[in-house]
């Protein structure tokens, strides 16, 4: 009598097992011993570890990642608060200026002390300075064709921009500040308030201080404040 050949061993499809367990999350209730017998790959070393140890490791990793993200959020909040306080002090100092020369001086001082800006220039058309009894004092300058064309070229059609600043451009656009031997960087903003009011230049001898990838929102904001104060002071009795 011949013996029947044994049927080939059947194996379960891993994907189907995973799907079944996902539909029955309470499968291990009352089968805790089975959990202790299960082995899974160790995430940081060769070999296997128990499922419970792997779960503990994963939970610890998630907790560390959450703590790191929280610290990043707190650091960003601290930076934003410090930036707000510096900007507030800057604007308050500008509001206290009694004339446009004092405005320019306050702008240069505040940006140097609070934002580490090495040099500032404020180029305004002659229409804003003709009525003044004295020529404008640095960092204010009367905008001429040469400076206007170069500033427009550096802005390249934009309202504001961060870019490299060659020693030649530094000497031309910030004549009151000593030019570096090598190229630095600058943030530029066009001043407008219904009409062109000139340009604001923030410069640094560090070529990476004002990088092309930087947001220019702060420069635009300062430019908007300065433009309004220039117009107000130009028409005030003390202007």
70 CB neighbour count, 10 Å cutoff:
10
Whether 239 has a pLDDT exceeding 70, the answer reads no
* Percent of all residues in the chain with a pLDDT value above 90, rounded to a whole number: 66
Mean pLDDT of 141-154: 96
| Backbone angle region of 57, left / alpha / beta, with phi > 0 → left and psi within -120 to 50 → alpha | alpha
Contacts of 44 (CB under 8 A, 6+ apart): 57
Whether 19 has a pLDDT exceeding 90, the answer reads no
Position 53 confidence tier, pLDDT thresholds 50, 70, 90: confident
For residue 187, the model assigns a pLDDT of 98
The per-residue pLDDT of the chain, averaged, comes to 88
Q: Which two tokens stand for residue 197?
A: 């009011």
For residue 44, the model assigns a pLDDT of 66
Whether 237 has a pLDDT exceeding 70, the answer reads no
For residue 35, the model assigns a pLDDT of 66
For residue 9, the model assigns a pLDDT of 58
Q: Would you say 74 and 87 are in contact if contact means Cβ atoms under 8 Å apart?
A: no
For residue 95, the model assigns a pLDDT of 97
């Amino acid at each position: 009598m011949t013996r029947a050949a044994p049927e080939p061993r059947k194996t379960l499809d891993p994907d189907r097992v995973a799907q079944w367990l996902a539909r029955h999350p309470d499968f291990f209730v009352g089968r805790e011993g089975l959990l202790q017998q299960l082995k899974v790959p160790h995430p940081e070393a060769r070999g296997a570890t128990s499922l419970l140890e792997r779960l503990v490791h994963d939970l610890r990793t998630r907790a560390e990642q959450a703590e790191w993200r929280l610290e990043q959020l707190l650091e960003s909040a601290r930076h934003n608060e410090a930036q707000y306080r510096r900007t507030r002090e800057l604007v308050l100092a500008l509001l206290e200026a009694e004339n446009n020369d004092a405005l320019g001086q306050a702008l240069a001082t505040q940006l140097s002390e609070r934002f580490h800006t090495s040099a500032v220039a404020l180029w305004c058309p002659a229409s804003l300075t003709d009525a003044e009894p004295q020529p404008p004092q640095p960092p204010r300058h009367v905008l001429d064709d040469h400076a206007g064309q170069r500033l427009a070229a550096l802005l390249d059609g934009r309202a504001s921009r961060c870019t490299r600043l060659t020693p030649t451009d530094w000497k031309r656009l910030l004549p009151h500040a000593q030019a570096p031997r090598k190229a630095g960087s600058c943030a530029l903003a066009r001043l407008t308030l219904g009409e062109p009011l000139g340009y604001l230049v923030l410069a640094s001898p560090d070529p990476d201080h004002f990088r092309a990838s930087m947001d220019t929102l702060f420069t635009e904001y300062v430019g908007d404040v300065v433009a309004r104060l220039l117009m107000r002071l130009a028409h005030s009795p003390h202007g």
